[in-house]
């Protein structure tokens, strides 16, 4: 079974991490609440992410809109992959010599490498989407300055 995680799915996420559905089943993915975490993250820097994605997958979408939707999909995949890689007790590693078999959690060094790779991919797709959105949409100004046209002291 494949579950939807934001703008991606569980199969794409597992492929990014390099695990199978036996090693990290959909129930484990669901328990991490990845979709909620993804939407909270996206809302911080692309509050209109749902509209951006809908515009990109609509029939007749412009190339730029399609690129934005693709960036959101890739960002979603690598966001979830990073979350899984940072869950060291979730990924099992099965070792067998034909006679004996042992299942243990994947080596922490390997998970750290996967997490680092996922973080770099995540940063790349975030930057790509921010570039496509334009600098005004990527940053929010909290404070601003205004210059009044009337000076109440000089009455001018």
Contact between 34 and 83 under an 8 Å Cβ cutoff? The reply is yes
148 found inside a domain: no
The Cα 67–Cα 65 span in angstroms is 5
Q: Which domain holds residue 81?
A: 4-138
10-residue stretch averages of pLDDT, the chain, 156 residues long: 91 88 83 90 91 95 94 94 76 70 65 81 86 59 57 69
- Decide if 22 is inside a domain: yes
> Contact 129/41 with Cβ under 8 angstroms?
no
| The pLDDT value given to residue 135 | 43
Look up tokens 């010599």; give the residue: 97
Q: Report how far residue 19's alpha carbon sits from residue 92's, in angstroms, rounded to the nearest whole number.
A: 9
Instruction: Count how many domains the chain has.
Output: 1
**Structural domain includes residue 42:** yes
Residue 145 lies in a domain: no
Domain assignment present for 151: no
The number of angstroms, rounded, from the C-alpha of 103 to the middle of its chain's C-alpha atoms is 29
Residue 124 lies in a domain: yes
Residue 83: name the closest of 35, 26, 123 by CA. 35
């Amino acid at each position: 079974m494949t579950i939807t995680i934001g703008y991606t799915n569980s199969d794409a996420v597992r492929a990014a991490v390099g695990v199978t559905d036996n090693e990290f089943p959909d129930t484990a993915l669901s328990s991490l609440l990845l979709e909620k975490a993804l939407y909270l993250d996206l809302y911080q820097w692309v509050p209109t992410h749902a509209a951006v994605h809908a515009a990109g997958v609509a029939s007749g979408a412009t190339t730029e809109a399609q690129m934005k939707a693709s960036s959101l999909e890739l960002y979603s995949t690598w966001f979830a992959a990073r979350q899984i890689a940072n869950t060291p007790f979730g990924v099992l590693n099965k070792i067998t010599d034909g006679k004996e078999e042992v299942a243990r959690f994947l080596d922490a060094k390997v998970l750290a490498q996967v997490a680092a790779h996922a973080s770099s991919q995540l940063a790349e797709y975030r930057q790509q989407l921010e570039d496509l959105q334009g600098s005004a949409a990527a940053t929010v100004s909290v404070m601003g300055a205004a210059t009044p046209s009337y000076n109440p002291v000089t009455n001018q």
